[in-house]
Amino acid sequence: MVKKDISSRELTEKALKDIEKNSNLNAFITLCADDALKAANEADNLRAKGDTRPLLGVPIAVKDMILTKGVKTTAASKILSNYIPPYDATVVRKLKTAGAIIIGKTNMDEFAMGSSNEHSFFGPVKNPWDTKLVSGGSSGGSAVSVAARLTPFALGTDTGGSIRQPASLCGVVGIKPTYGRVSRYGVVAYASSLDQVGVFARSVEECALLTETISGKDEFDSTSVDITPVGEIKFGIKGLRIGIPKEYFTEALDPIVNSLVSEALNNLRSLGATLVPISLPHTDLALAAYYVIAPAEASSNLARYDGIRYGIREEAEDLFSLYANTREAGFGSEVKRRIIIGTYVLSSGYYDAYYKKAQQVRRLIQNDFLDVFKNSCDVIAAPVSPFPAWKLGEKVSDPLKMYLSDILTIPVNLAGLPGMSIPCGFTSDRLPVGFQLIGKPFDEKTLYQVGATYQKETNFHKELPPGVEDGF
């Protein structure tokens, strides 16, 4: 993936310099400069000896809720602000085995709870297309790192749209693989039945390379699946049936988003695909179901932050006060809100009315997708975000408005399906917009095929934010 006329050392030095130069974007929490330069020297030596691994010596950014041995992993929270993991997450280990260089940890919404990257203990991430706007979240730092050409690739996580939405708002490609395709071992847990590690890159082909590198069965994650690598990407979509869900094209969709996504669909038709109208009738229930299930799982997962085992500690006279003081000081407002919601829906007398019912709705949503894939289409295309990037601070005080920004991505997580955001145009203010491809379970290869064919005919993914030079 690296041009032969530049060494890994030079590439890594450039990335570190560019990250520092663009510190106003606040995309990174921690840099691994010394380790990265050491790894770059080793990569150059290996390449000189004939090592041709495609990721050898390539700098990659990693979302700061993915553990990195000996390097701070904070989940953008005060409670973990000084936590240094003793081991690497499986995805990090796989990247290192492939020769990639971990250059730093990217900023994010605290514990991945947010859609704008404004809920971070380390401050908001800014959109490189307009620094007065949000980057999207929760993997905003990773999306910005690729969009601003600070690194060629980045890892993120997607629980309800946290890769696809910032990818759309920042004008890059982002993929959430099928749940179970990529190990979650070593990833700070938010909602364990929804979380999935995925990747950001400039092109679909690069996303495919990175996704295949980190995929596969892991003995440390019982939900991971043994998957045969996709192999070479096929081009051409003649005869492919692309489902267009009517529930994703409503009056709530911003007109410019509707127009740009519709144009992308027409492009796919001109390339030989057949557009098939479909219905996913339980889509309108997805948001409510998600904001029961995800907070419930978060309430359970975040109970481990008690001031005793790891993280900060606020001293107190008794155990209960220790817990209460530590969590009050360590968690941000959005995290507290979701813990409270989750604890409530799991409490005695409310479990059946809320959590059990939400899980039943989740199955209905999953069945909607499986039915249309069985009977009507090979892949689904839809918008990613109902609107382009918005102003910093515009929605942060209104949680419901913020939650609505994920209304088109959440169903994919509830169903455990693969989803990918691909740039498809710009607003009159030069803000990027993406469209979403949704695939059958473990059928990432069709997403790659459609996405790569589309990008072969378009140049939206090659556009650069103001003042950014493409050095990769």
Q: Give the pTM.
A: 0.96
The Cα–Cα gap between 174 and 148 comes to: 15
**Number of neighbouring beta carbons within 10 Å of residue 404:** 16
Distances (CA, A) of 343 to 291, 336, 400: 12, 10, 19
What tens digit of pLDDT does each residue of 178-189 get?
Answer: 999 999 999 999
Helices 357-375 and 286-301, axial angle in degrees (round to 10) = 120
Contact 255, 286 (CB under 8 A): no
Residue among 135, 162, 183, 224 flagged as catalytic? 162
Question: Mean pLDDT across the stretch 41-49?
Answer: 97
Is residue 3's pLDDT more than 60? Answer: no
Instruction: Read off the pLDDT of each residue in 347-364 and give the average, rounded to a whole number.
Output: 93
- Quick check: 140 and 116 in contact, CB under 8 A? yes
Q: Across the chain, what does the average pLDDT equal?
A: 96
Q: How far apart are CA 397 and CA 284, in angstroms?
A: 24
Domains, the chain, in order of start with CATH, read 1-467 (3.90.1300.10)
Is residue 123 within 8 A of residue 30, CB to CB? The reply is no
Cβ atoms of 28 and 140 within 8 Å: the answer is no
Asked if residue 305 has pLDDT above 90, the reply is yes
The catalytic residue among 8, 63, 115, 120 is 63
* b/e per residue 150-178 (b: at least 16 CB within 10 A): bbbbbbbbbbbbbbbbbbbbbbbbbbbbb
Instruction: Give percent above pLDDT 70 in the chain.
Output: 99
Q: Is 299 a catalytic residue?
A: no
Question: Is the pLDDT reported for residue 464 higher than 50?
Answer: yes
Question: Is 162 part of the annotated catalytic residue set?
Answer: yes
Q: What is the mean pLDDT of residues 404-413?
A: 96
Q: To 10 degrees, the CA torsion angle through 384, 387, 391, 392? A: -30
For the cut 60, the answer to whether the pLDDT of residue 2 exceeds it is no
Question: To 10 degrees, the CA torsion angle through 425, 28, 18, 45?
Answer: -110
Q: Which candidate, 21, 7, 134, places its Cα nearest to that of 58? A: 7
Q: CA 471 to CA 14: how far, in whole Å? A: 8
Burial grade of 304 (CB within 10 A; 0-12, 13-18, 19 or more): exposed
400 pLDDT higher than 90: no
DSSP 79-107: GGTT---SS--HHHHHHHHTT-EEEEEE-
pLDDT of residue 349: 86
When pLDDT is cut at 50, 70 and 90, the band that residue 1 belongs to is very low
| pLDDT digits 0-9 by tens, 127-171 | 999 999 999 999 999 999 999 999 999 999 999 999 999 999 999
Q: Measured between alpha carbons, how far is 309 from 306 in angstroms, rounded to an integer?
A: 7
Polymer length of the chain: 472
Helix (H), strand (E) at residue 295 = helix 286-301
Instruction: Spot the catalytic one: 8, 120, 135, 138.
Output: 138
Query: Could you report the per-residue pLDDT of 331-355, keeping only the tens digit for each?
Result: 999 999 999 999 999 998 888 899 9
Mean pLDDT is lowest, of 109-113, 394-398, 468-472, for 468-472
Asked whether the predicted pLDDT for residue 372 surpasses 70, the reply is: yes
Known active-site residue 246: no
- H helix runs in 129-254, sequence order: 140-147, 164-170, 204-214
Q: Which helix (H) or strand (E) holds 362?
A: helix 357-375
Residue 472 pLDDT level (bands cut at 50, 70, 90): low
CA distance 178 to 450: 17
Condensed to tens digits (0 to 9), the pLDDT of residues 195-237 reads: 999 999 999 999 999 999 999 999 999 999 998 888 899 999 9
Tell me the pLDDT band of 4, cut-offs 50, 70 and 90.
low
DSSP 109: S
| Helix, coil or strand: residue 435 | strand
Question: Which residues make Cβ contacts (< 8 Å) with residue 174, sequence separation at least 6?
Answer: 139, 143, 156, 158, 163, 164, 166, 167, 168, 198, 199, 200, 207, 420, 421
Q: What is the distance between the alpha carbons of residues 1 and 53, in angstroms, rounded to a whole number?
A: 9
